[in-house]
Chain A
Amino acid sequence: MSILGLLRVAMRALAVNKLRSLLTMLGIIIGVAAVIVMIAVGSGAQARVEEQIRSLGSNLLLILSGTTTAGGVRMGFGSNQTISEDDAAAIPREIPETMAAPALRGTAQLIWGNQNWSTVIFGVTPEYIDVRQWEIAAGRIFDATDMAGATKVCLVGETVARQLFGGANPLGQVIRVRRVPFTVIGVLESKGQSMMGTDQDDLVLMPISTARKRVLGSGNLAKQRSVGTIWVKVAEGYDMKAAEEQVRSLLRQRHRLQPGQDDDFSLRNLEEVAATQEASSRVLALLLAAVASVSLVVGGIGIMNIMLVSVTERTREIGLRMAVGARTRDILGQFLVEAVTLSLIGGLAGIAIGVATAVGIAEFAGWRIVLSPESVVLAVAFAFAIGVFFGFYPARKAARLNPVEALRFE
């Protein structure tokens, strides 16, 4: 019998018990819908993590200055200013595949007209813009002249621009940073939230020399060249592990640390952090899909159950078909196609419901979702496989019936 003929016979048989067919399909519908929703939510979370990592830049090393202990009280990283602008300058000089950007951090109250806003101040070099992958929305960045002259210019983040200036154009405006007047020369493109949920656009960038001398500098900080952090960008394709080791040994050498002595700085490889985060989000997505596929298997068992009932109910029909010449493979094919039809129709309905649910979740819960054609194809293929797997045993049972006994069956 042709596949089309078998399909027609299957559809007719399924139409006889509409409610029963629907209930049987429900298992597959729920299973497929669950797989699609879970994959959509899981890959949505994964995509979010990847996006945030990309906005941070994964080929980065972060150097934090060391700790200090005062009277048995151990302070955190950065409490002792062990790294300096000179270290930052030495890194690209010794390791040409790198670019280093020192940063001095502090908080300050900003005032413009009758508005004021508290934000984070970063004293940086022009390299910082490149290393941290900031884009300039308007205006310019500070140049060598600004650096050398410690000019009172600054760039503001998108949040600062909005909070302080409202609708006004920030460019050329003069704001007070701890009472020191600064001219806004540029606005940064928005980066949105960080992985930890903090607003990355709530900041002001200014030349490190200016920051040290006019804003953040107090006491010996002004005299020294020390910085809180140095960001190191490693050239694309260069081994991050090797770069990390080279930077570490360079700094140990510059700080004159003996072998066996602890680092007086902390070196973090953001690629590793990113890889860990990516891996954990992938595991989460996989786990969600695996849990959902359990319901698909349960749906398959439902199909097997109903097909077994159906074979018993239709024993006489099977006997008649055998009497008029149906071969083993004809009967096998008939019941297999019926099971697969159940699972495939269930699968298609499941896709519709799954996609609708995923879109609904994105719409109402505001979660990020990613609907991939692969997940849809996977779900259909899985539904098909379930139909074949769980349909085979009942179909074989039907095909192996003895025609004499089948015809006599009451």
Chain B
Amino acid sequence: MASSRLIHTRDLTKTYRVGDNEIRALAGVSIDIEQGEFTAVMGPSGSGKSTFMNIVGCLDQPSSGEYDLGTRRVSDLAGDELAAVRNSDIGFVFQTFNLLARTPAVENVELPLVYAAVPSAERRVRALEMLAKVGLAERADHHPGQLSGGQQQRVAIARALVTRPLLILADEPTGALDSRTSLEIMGLLQELNRQGMTVVLVTHEADVAHFARRVLRFRDGHLVEDRVNPDPGDALAMLREDAVPA
């Protein structure tokens, strides 16, 4: 597929004021991410990776600098305009899944479409389609409490995909899962990426970052490393090997 620039930032900074102290969470980050890339963002806590991800995810605004998502300058947007961008262009996957309790899986997947004012019949069709895609078609009516951790994260991924976003932002998606389930989830993200979806993954685990083709590393608010992973792991293949004991 023809690659084109999806994320473009120039000199992004973010400064917080805590009492009299100014804390520089992001000290000028410039980066470009192409469409269809699978990028891992790494760094210890306090490195600025979370701040960077919040800005890329349109949850937060930079103090200065430019950020273009696709062809749109989003660093100037605020409030409900950012909410609209999040709704249409970004799919979030969280460490703790963040599913609505006591709400069937299919309605959890529908949630972004509710805020996009999609008619309910169409919502249901699209949500079921996405659940099928993550392999949970027959669990549509289950509540999160009736699903395993891996299944809950699949529901969350279906929810992230349902608006057909430009990119998936996964913040420590395997942080609450055991290693085998982690492989399943990483395999699903890799599969989606193979189908053309841009994935940005935040992690502090090298094993997880290993599945990405590009790795960014943050420290003290700076981007300190940007390398291509020449030989990313194949999570599904590892899962198959794992399943057949020697």
Contact = CB atoms under 8 A, between A and B. Distances in A.
Interface string A399-410: 000011001000
A102 to B, nearest CB: 82
The 5 closest A-B pairs by CB, nearest first: A325-B87, A325-B115, A324-B112, A327-B80, A320-B98
B125 interface: no
Query: Does more than half of chain A's interface fall in helix, strand or loop, or is it mixed?
Result: helix
A316 B83 CA distance: 16
Given A5-B114, A407-B59, A327 B83 contact: yes
B86 A324 contact: yes
Nearest to A16: B102
23 contacts: A1-B115, A5-B120, A12-B103, A16-B101, A16-B102, A316-B98, A320-B98, A320-B100, A321-B115, A323-B86, A324-B86, A324-B87, A324-B92, A324-B115, A325-B83, A325-B88, A325-B115, A325-B116, A327-B80, A327-B83, A328-B83, A403-B59, A403-B60
Contact of B94 (A326, A327, A330, A407): A407
Interface of A: 1, 5, 12, 15-16, 316-317, 319-330, 403-404, 407
Interface string B197-236: 0000000000000000000000000000000000000000
Nearest to A5: B114
Contacts of B87: 324-325
Contact of A321 (B80, B88, B111): B111
B83 A322 contact: yes
Contacts of A404: 54, 59-60
Contacts of B94: 320, 407
Interface string B41-55: 000000000000010
B160 to A, nearest CB: 8
A323 B89 CA distance: 11
Residue from A1, A319, A325 whose CB has the most chain B CB atoms within 10 Å: A325
B126 interface: no
Interface in B76-114: 79-80, 83-84, 86-88, 92, 94, 98, 100-103, 111-112, 114
A327 to B, nearest CB: 4
Nearest to A8: B107
Given A12-B102, A404-B59, A407-B59, A326 B79 contact: no
Nearest to B119: A2
Nearest to A322: B83
A404 B57 CA distance: 10
Given A1-B115, A16-B102, A317-B100, A325 B92 contact: no
B111 A323 contact: no
Given A12-B102, A403-B59, A404-B60, A324 B80 contact: no
A376 B60 CA distance: 48
B154 interface: no
Interface residues of B, number: 26
Given A317-B100, A323-B92, A407-B98, A328 B79 contact: yes
Contacts of B80: 327-329
Contact of A330 (B54, B59, B92, B115): B115
Interface of B: 54, 57, 59-60, 79-80, 83-84, 86-88, 92, 94, 98, 100-103, 111-112, 114-116, 120, 159, 163
A326 B83 contact: yes
Contacts of B88: 325
Contacts of B57: 323
A326 B115 contact: yes
A232 B163 CA distance: 86
Given A321-B111, A323-B92, A323-B98, 19 more contacts: A1-B114, A5-B114, A12-B102, A320-B100, A322-B59, A322-B86, A324-B112, A325-B83, A325-B87, A325-B115, A325-B116, A326-B83, A326-B115, A327-B83, A328-B79, A328-B83, A329-B80, A403-B60, A407-B59
A152 B162 CA distance: 102
A147 B122 CA distance: 93
B112 A325 contact: yes
B238 to A, nearest CB: 30
Nearest to B156: A320
A327 B112 CA distance: 11
Nearest to A406: B59
A326 B92 CA distance: 14
A212 B94 CA distance: 105
Contacts of A12: 102-103
A316 B60 CA distance: 16
Contacts of A319: 98
A324 B80 CA distance: 12
Nearest to A323: B92
Contacts of B100: 317, 320
A327 B86 contact: no
Residue from B54, B98, B103, B112 whose CB has the most chain A CB atoms within 10 Å: B98
A319 B159 CA distance: 15
B168 to A, nearest CB: 13
A5 B111 CA distance: 11
A322 B83 CA distance: 7
Given A404-B54, A404-B59, A407-B94, A324 B111 contact: yes
A149 B224 CA distance: 129
B120 to A, nearest CB: 8
A273 to B, nearest CB: 65
B121 to A, nearest CB: 13
Nearest to B101: A16
Nearest to A4: B120
A15 B103 CA distance: 12
Contact of A327 (B84, B103, B159, B163): B84
B113 to A, nearest CB: 9
A379 to B, nearest CB: 32
A329 B84 CA distance: 13
Contacts of A316: 98
